[in-house]
């Protein structure tokens, strides 16, 4: 057990080193989310603090959704086929998917954190229950990373994978997104936390289903 944990750790370290070596990709993603936030800010005619909470919240999650799809989509295409074959020989598929999901979760957390800070900075911060909002960001990062990593694996095996990534991931991500919107909306309005507990439990359940399925199904994709 500890041996496989150590291997997952090594694989994750590899992901981080790889990302760090290709810093332009990482910087690209960070700039992407900041740019998207700024486009929204200018499109709303720079009227800070005048957005209704629903618009504020929805636009934020849509920005996050698109950055997530863009960020996760490259998790299987940035390495060459030969190197993937090498991983295939040295690690089990379960370790690969776990390390990729963990890595993507960290990436999503960074993106969501940065997105939230810049978004609140330029468009005003109407959130009344910040801890709950942050919780929804964390749950969202885990769910996005879990479901999108598997979809990215599927899409990378096909031709025209960019289009496929989008059409496969929108419907898959939607139940998750709807739950997240609802939780974050209650956090925004500062409603009592007991009101969101149903949604949080459902979200945790969806996250769990998605993660378990990714673990079960990934070996079949990996083999081809």
Partner 1 sequence: MKKNWWKGVAVLLLTYVVFWGLLGPTPRQPILNESIRNVYFHVPLWFGMVILLLTAAIFSGRYLRSGNPEHDRVAVEFTNTALVFGLLGCLTGSIWANFTWGEPWPNDPKLNSVAVGMLLYLAYVILRGSFDDEQRRARISSVYNIFAFAVFIPLIFIVPRLTDSLHPGNGGNPAFGQYDMDNQMRMVFYPAVIGFTLLGVWITEIRVRTWRIEAYIEE
**C-alpha span between 114 and 38 (Å, rounded):** 13
Q: Is 217 in the site for partner 1 (CB under 8 A)?
A: yes
**C-alpha span between 146 and 68 (Å, rounded):** 11
Q: Is 178 in the site for partner 1 (CB under 8 A)?
A: yes
Structure token digits, residue 39: 């486009």
Mask of contacts with partner 1, 45-74, x by CB under 8 A? ------------------------------
Mask of contacts with partner 1, 105-134, x by CB under 8 A? ------------------------------
Q: Is 171 in the site for partner 1 (CB under 8 A)?
A: yes
**Which residues have a Cβ under 8 Å from the Cβ of 203 and sit 6 or more positions away?**
139, 143, 176, 179, 180, 183
Site size with partner 1, rule: CB under 8 A: 32
Stretch of 13-21, 50-58, 112-120, 175-183 contacting partner 1, by CB under 8 A: 175-183
**C-alpha span between 147 and 71 (Å, rounded):** 13
Q: How far is the CB of 205 from partner 1 (least distance, A)?
A: 7
Q: How far is the CB of 62 from partner 1 (least distance, A)?
A: 15
Helix (H) / strand (E) containing 76: none
Q: Which of 154, 180, 181, 183 binds partner 1 (CB under 8 A)?
A: 154
Task: Find the distance separating the first CA and the last CA of the chain, reported in whole Å.
Answer: 27
Q: Is 160 in the site for partner 1 (CB under 8 A)?
A: yes
Helical pair 161-189 and 197-223, crossing angle rounded to 10 deg: 160
**C-alpha span between 94 and 102 (Å, rounded):** 12
- Binding residues vs partner 1 (CB under 8 A): 147, 150-151, 154, 157-160, 164, 167-168, 170-172, 174-175, 178-179, 182, 198-199, 202, 205-206, 209-210, 213, 217, 220-221, 223-224
């Amino acid at each position: 057990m500890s041996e496989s944990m150590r291997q997952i750790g090594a694989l994750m370290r590899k992901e981080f080193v790889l990302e760090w070596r290709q810093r332009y990709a990482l910087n690209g993603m960070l700039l992407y989310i900041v740019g998207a936030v700024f486009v929204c800010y200018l499109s709303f005619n720079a009227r800070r603090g005048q957005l209704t909470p629903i618009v504020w919240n929805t636009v934020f999650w849509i920005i996050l959704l698109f950055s997530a799809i863009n960020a996760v989509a490259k998790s299987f295409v940035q390495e060459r086929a030969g190197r993937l074959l090498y991983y295939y020989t040295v690690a089990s598929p379960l370790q690969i998917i776990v390390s990729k999901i963990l890595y993507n979760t960290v990436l999503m957390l960074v993106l969501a954190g940065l997105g939230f800070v810049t978004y609140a900075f330029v468009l005003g911060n109407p959130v009344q229950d910040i801890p709950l909002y942050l919780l929804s960001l964390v749950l969202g990062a885990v769910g996005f990373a879990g479901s999108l990593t598997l979809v990215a694996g599927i899409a990378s095996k096909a031709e025209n994978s960019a289009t496929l990534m989008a059409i496969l991931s929108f419907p898959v991500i939607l139940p998750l997104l709807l739950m997240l919107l609802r939780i974050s909306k209650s956090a925004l309005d500062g409603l009592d936390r007991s009101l969101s507990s149903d949604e949080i439990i459902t979200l945790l359940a969806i996250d769990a289903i998605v993660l378990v399925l990714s673990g079960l199904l990934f070996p079949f994709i990996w083999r081809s």
